[in-house]
Amino acid sequence: MVILSILAVALSAATVLLSVFALHGFQQTISQKVSELQGDYMIDDPANVEGAEWKALPDVQAHLIRRAVQQSGLDWMLEPVAQRACIAKSQGEVEGVMARGLSQQAILRLKSDADTTRLALYLSKSLATRLNVQEGDAVSLLFFESGKGRARARRYPVGGFLSQGLDEFDQHSVVVPLEALKTLMPEGHTVSRWELRAPAAVSTEEQERSVSLIQSELPPGLLRISSVETQNRALYDWLRVLDTNLWVMLVLMIAVAVIALSTTLLILMFEQTSLVGLLQALGAHKAAIQQVFWWQGLGIALAGLIMGNALAFGLAWAQNHFQWIQLDAEQYFIDAVVFSTSVSTALWVNVISLVLCMLLMLFPIRFVRKMSVSSALRYE
């Protein structure tokens, strides 16, 4: 019975830890992919709203942006991005997409073997399948302008396939060199926004101080700097909602562990009823007898938690290394489960679980106080 109780506590602890690791891994992976795709911060027109086409920035503001970034105290990577909604058309197939004009450096970051010396179009394999095109085939992009009924068409060869990290973006966007969209932008406007990527090993506090300096140097009402989280509020709100589901699971799993432990203690006390009566007859205090069962419960809880931690960290390492559990990228944005292991996270989970177990064990242990010596000695 003790072994079964230890296993129940171990499985509950492992489930709780794996759930926390999986959720944190999912959230961090999505955040990292979005940052890789759109930068940590971006400078754009304050009139832009999430989900709409970006308003182009006047070219005369470029030197103001570069100067503000240079005086911010951090070595930010500053990259221009142009963006236009369009229709991608191949032989008999059409798809509504967002054309993203990127610098050569940004394209090489997404596809290291890209030939940036020519104007070519890059898209995901899933979008290429829907358009029924292969590498080298031509794809026409049709751009519509408000107030003008006639579309402006541009034809580009498929330079290769790439993955932007998130299936939601891969399905609905294509990448072209920044120069390809210059002629399609309003006169005197070249880019839609500037993306900033923070240097490696820079703390969040340092980034926020630098961003505050940049904002103070930008013309108020004409330019703004905002985080990638602010620009993708719907996505990050959805990620935060997952925390609620996690807490429900944590409560249920800890409840299973506590019930298993309490049930085991009750059974052990019933099995040792005669011994409890004998100890009381010999003059042992009930508090001392309670401590014996309490320490026995503590041993079961600690053994279960140690086994559960070893199991959780082992399975997490194996999944991250071998990626046995695959996901549908169209539904979950990522193609495999990622566990973000953390000793500090495991520590607070273990402490909370142990404290709850110890507190709730006091209820079955109180059964000892209700035992009379005569009834305990007669118990068989």
Whole-number Å distance between alpha carbons of 135 and 114: 12
Quick one: tokens of 254? 């800890």
**pLDDT one-digit tens code per residue, 18-36:** 988 998 898 888 888 888 8
Cβ–Cβ under 8 Å, residues 345 and 25:
no
Rounded CA separation 339/359 (Å): 31
- Categorize the per-residue pLDDT at 158 as very low, low, confident or very high, splitting at 50, 70 and 90: very high
Mean pLDDT computed over 362-379: 58
> Is pLDDT at 95 greater than 90 in this prediction?
yes
| pLDDT for the residue 283 | 64
Taking only the tens place, the pLDDT of each residue in 58-73 is 998 999 999 999 999 8
- The domain segmentation of the chain, as residue ranges, is 2-32+236-378, 46-222
Give pLDDT, residue 284: 63
Task: Say if residues 119 and 107 touch (Cβ distance below 8 Å).
Answer: no
Given a contact cutoff of 8 angstroms between Cβ atoms, the answer to whether 174 and 89 are in contact is no
73: amino acid identity, one letter: G
Q: Residue 162 gets which letter from DSSP? A: -
pLDDT digits (tens, 9 = 90+) for 261-280: 677 666 666 666 666 666 66
Query: Does the pLDDT at position 297 exceed 70?
Result: yes
Confidence of residue 361 (pLDDT cuts 50, 70, 90): confident
pLDDT digits (tens, 9 = 90+) for 173-191: 899 999 989 888 888 888 9
Q: Is 168 or 172 the better-scoring residue by pLDDT? A: 172
Residue with tokens 């060869």: 157
Q: How many Cβ atoms are within 10 Å of 164's Cβ, its own excluded?
A: 22
Tokens, residue 290: 């309670």
Whole-angstrom distance, CA of residue 268 vs CA of residue 277: 14
Structure tokens at 213: 């300096």
Per-residue model confidence (pLDDT) at position 164:
65
Please report the pLDDT score of residue 271 as a whole number.
63
- Mean pLDDT score of the chain: 83
The phi, psi pair for 191, rounded to 5°, reads -125, 160
Token digits of residue 90: 């191949």
Structure token digits, residue 116: 């940036």
